[in-house]
Structure 1
Amino acid sequence: MEHTLSETPAMAGHSSTGSRGSRKKNIAAVTIGNGLEFYDFTVYSFFATVIGKQFFPADGSNQLLLAFATYGIGFFMRPLGSILLGQYADRVGRKAAMILTLWLMAIGSLIFVLTPSYAQIGIAAPLMIVFARLLQGFAIGGEVGASTTYLMEKARSHERGYFTSWQFFSQGLSVLLGAMVGLSVNYGLSEEQVAGWGWRIPFVIGLLVIPVGSYMRRHLQESDQVKRDVSHRLSWGQHKQALVAGILIAIGGTSGSYVILHYLSNFAVAQLHLPLSVGIWTGCAAGAVQVALAVASGRACDRWGRKRMILWSRLAMLVLIYPAFILLQHSPTLPVLVVVASTLAALLVCNTVPSLVMLAEIFPAEVRATGLSVTYALASIVFGGFAQFFCTLLISLTGNPSAPAFYLIACGLISLLGLVLVKEPTQR
């Protein structure tokens, strides 16, 4: 067990990295494909209030709760996707798994585009939306492990943080692009048009770009660390400490990502009573900060170490998160929203990038894609996918608009326990 968490054989030397041009191609293909997949999650989050009214026969906050519950239900498929698609990536190849997950996401997006509203086809409408979210959850369950593992295995030992940071860069880019498309829809159409059909436009745009990502991934060179040996399987007995540590570490990042990058825009609409367009600006700000700082954060954790960055950024988040929600209530304006979202997003990047690198480093190559996928999926199934639902529910139960801060504080404290179980993997 100590061997798994300190020096895995696959980490002993430098991975095959290829020419500088091929390295850039690897990063671009994985970044574009991964960003496209997370783009749909972002768009759904921004238009959750509209989707709730279109597909769920309820009133007021119940519609929003049902929309968030549907958003979260897809996360229940992530563990299954992480196991099946993770094993597929470990045995058949990272490249094949990344192409498969991309097209599975495309099918889910097509369902969002074509499904009529509840008023038109009744109960079949929400059932179709739930099926689409389950399919997308299954795809994301395998995508994170396959793409992150591929990036890390194409890096030299002293730049694994830099390469892996492009994964989080792509997620930030998807948030930024999703927010910009959402703003364009809101400013370009009337409120009735947005509610009627305009909210579908961002999903159509995502579909149009899917073939580009698929083409780029088909021309990738497979990782030379793929172990096509069915005798190697991820097991609780052999990899228990790595699994526990990975899940605990991932809880802090997933909860923070879905609250800061996605929930704040809905918080601005539902609790601060601001227009949807103003709420989406928080996504623009957070996404822009994530894009700007992701790669720098990757280089920093290569230089200073994963554990140090995770610890100090997490402690800073614990100190600032409650005052941030208080500030939003006292000054519910666009400039304050942007400043709060940007500050929290900066801390999130400094925490999530080294966390993602560490999740890949604590597993040996033969089960790396599966191990990373499973830990990420199990952490996000509750603490990420249902973060917005829990935040809305906590406010409803307590009557305190700052209750989401308590959720992030609890998740942050839990995540620090995982650092105790791992050794610093930088430069190993």
Structure 2
Amino acid sequence: MDATKTISENSACRAQASKTVASNYRKTLFAGAIGNGLEFYDFAVYGLFATYIAKVFFPMQSEFMGLLLAIATFGVGFLARPLGALMIGAYADRAGRKAALRLTILLMGFGTVMIGSLPGYATLGIWAPILLVVARLLQGFSAGGEVGAAVSIMMEAAPANKKGAAVSWQIASQPIALMASGLIGFLLAQSMSAEDLASWGWRIPFFIGVAIIPVGMYIRKHLDETVEEVDVHASNKEVMAELASTYKMPIFLTTVIIAGIAINQYFFSYMTTYAISTLKLPPSVAMLAPVLLGATGAVFAVCGGRIADRFGRRAVNVIPRLLLIVVAYPAFAYATASKSEVIFFATIMGMVALNLMSYGTAALVAADSFPKKVRASAYSLGYALGVTIFGGSAQVIFTAMIHYTGNPNSPVIYLMIGNAMTIIAVLAVLRKKRRAEALVAANG
């Protein structure tokens, strides 16, 4: 009788422990995704309303130059990413993921409030664009440290057979944020006059984004830390010294992986501006692009992570990107020539599906190439460099390519090059990992 009771109690304890682990895992996934989602929401909203921001902060005689300056300011935020990656990433490796994640979401929110509340050029003169740049720099600094800490805690908290799925949720937060920004933009375009939307309505989405910050702060405060004392460095300087001495090549390969992905991501986020300025679609129709692309991307990001957990990381990284390289230009050219909104959106949705299916697995491959003790800072730095150099300049390059070549399909060529870069770098990382594992096995 006592033995039966003991067995029953042990089973109940194990069941409760299993529920607790599952609950902590889900909480970690949500906490990691929410900050990255907010980051991408801010960037998506800025890109979505770039034409309106240009008129408020950069009133130029040439509409093209005003738009180019507004998009350039969008890119300025990327300049602070490497510094944020080093400082906050090293802080995450030294003080833990939780502390770093709470700091990044707070800084990100402050930058968002600044953009939403700044008076325009008509009120502040030259100080208006200067303060806009400061806000974007603050957002970029926080985003630079956010991604490494978030990816690290999500993959470290996940069981061995669910790491792809875990990281895929961090990636899925990006298209979900894109979808939310597009839905809000669509509703505003439908409910407001063009004059009100241009003068003050574009500010509303920034304030909506700030509302998520208290929730994110609370959840991140109650996470289980994944960094153990044995992995902790004594100072940020010690972390940076180890990165410089040991991990230059893995950081370079991570940079190349993310560079190609960044070109893809900002190509798709550029589609609203493209639809308005190049295809001359009504804003209410163009604002639907992020909604459709976000829903597609979120579904395929999660599917890609689960497929990688079951069938391996190599195929999921290579096959979708090869397909994208082959079909991108003819499909996009046909979509723009058709003058059909349905064909255009369907084509972009297909391209997004191929990109997002392998995005999470590529991020996992890169992050997994570093040991836990430097993972947050090393991945943050590689990610920041890739996004800064290639993502930060992408929309400027797209706009300039269309303007100077006269070819509305020219940005797709840049997207194809980006996909080739990512494939080559991912295969190099996987090959290096395979050799290291073989060497360990040989030495017994």
Fold-level match, TM-score > 0.5?
yes
Determine if the alignment matches structure 1 residue 171 to structure 2 residue 183.
no
Q: Distance in 2 between the 1:297 and 1:414 partners? A: 19
Residue range with higher mean Cα deviation, 117-126 or 416-425: 416-425
- 2:403 is aligned to 396
- Contact conserved, 1:27 with 1:163, CA < 8 A, in 2? yes
Per-residue deviation, 1:370: 0.5
Residue 355 (structure 1) aligned to one of 362, 382, 405? 362
- 2:38 is aligned to 36
Determine if the alignment matches structure 1 residue 220 to structure 2 residue 228.
no
When the two structures are superposed, what TM-score results if normalisation uses the length of structure 2? 0.89
Q: Distance in 2 between the 1:413 and 1:121 partners? A: 45
Residue 52 (structure 1) aligned to one of 40, 51, 54? 54
- 1:88 is aligned to 91
Per-residue deviation, 1:143: 0.4
- Contact conserved, 1:17 with 1:155, CA < 8 A, in 2? no
Q: Give, as a single letter, the amino acid of the residue that structure 1 aligns with 2:220.
A: R
Residue 186 (structure 1) aligned to one of 189, 197, 206? 189
Larger % of helix: which? 2
Question: Superposition pairs for residues 8-157 of structure 1, below 5 Å?
Answer: 19-58=21-60, 59-157=62-160
- Contact conserved, 2:292 with 2:349, CA < 8 A, in 1? yes
Residue 250 (structure 2) aligned to one of 227, 232, 242? 242
Determine if the alignment matches structure 1 residue 229 to structure 2 residue 264.
no
Q: Distance in 2 between the 1:26 and 1:369 partners? A: 16
Q: Distance in 2 between the 1:140 and 1:23 partners? A: 23
% same residue: 39
Determine if the alignment matches structure 1 residue 304 to structure 2 residue 318.
no
- Contact conserved, 2:243 with 2:374, CA < 8 A, in 1? no
Partner SS for 1:57? coil
Please list every run of 5 or more consecutive structure 2 residues that lacks an aligned counterpart in the other structure: 1-17, 438-444
Q: Provide Cα deviations, 1:360-383, integer angstroms capped at 9, x if missing partner.
A: 100111100011101111011121
CA RMSD between the two structures: 1.8
Please say which structure displays the higher CA radius of gyration: 2
Per-residue deviation, 1:235: 2.3
- 1:326 is aligned to 333
Change in Cα spacing, 1:18 to 1:82, as seen in structure 2 (3 Å) is farther
When the two structures are superposed, what TM-score results if normalisation uses the length of structure 1? 0.92
Q: Distance in 1 between the 2:354 and 2:391 partners? A: 17
Determine if the alignment matches structure 1 residue 263 to structure 2 residue 270.
yes
Q: Provide Cα deviations, 1:263-306, integer angstroms capped at 9, x if missing partner.
A: 11111111111112222211111100112222221111112222
- Contact conserved, 1:244 with 1:418, CA < 8 A, in 2? no
Change in Cα spacing, 1:17 to 1:394, as seen in structure 2 (3 Å) is farther
How many residues in Structure 1 have an aligned counterpart in Structure 2?
411
Q: Distance in 2 between the 1:291 and 1:411 partners? A: 21
Please list every run of 5 or more consecutive structure 1 residues that lacks an aligned counterpart in the other structure: 1-15
Q: Provide Cα deviations, 1:315-347, integer angstroms capped at 9, x if missing partner.
A: 111112112321232123321222012101101
Partner SS for 2:226? coil
Q: Give, as a single letter, the amino acid of the residue that structure 2 aligns with 1:397.
A: Y
Q: Distance in 1 between the 2:209 and 2:51 partners? A: 20
Q: Give, as a single letter, the amino acid of the residue that structure 1 aligns with 2:134.
A: F
- 2:442 is aligned to none
- 1:288 is aligned to 295
Residue 209 (structure 2) aligned to one of 206, 209, 215? 206
Partner SS for 1:111? helix
Q: Distance in 2 between the 1:122 and 1:17 partners? A: 57
Q: Distance in 2 between the 1:18 and 1:84 partners? A: 33
Q: Provide Cα deviations, 1:249-268, integer angstroms capped at 9, x if missing partner.
A: 111111101111x1111111
- Contact conserved, 1:322 with 1:402, CA < 8 A, in 2? yes
- 1:9 is aligned to none
Residue range with higher mean Cα deviation, 173-182 or 226-235: 226-235
Per-residue deviation, 1:83: 0.3
Q: Provide Cα deviations, 1:363-404, integer angstroms capped at 9, x if missing partner.
A: 111100011101111011121122111011111121111110
Q: Distance in 2 between the 1:341 and 1:308 partners? A: 23
Change in Cα spacing, 1:171 to 1:225, as seen in structure 2 (3 Å) is farther
Q: Distance in 1 between the 2:19 and 2:266 partners? A: 33
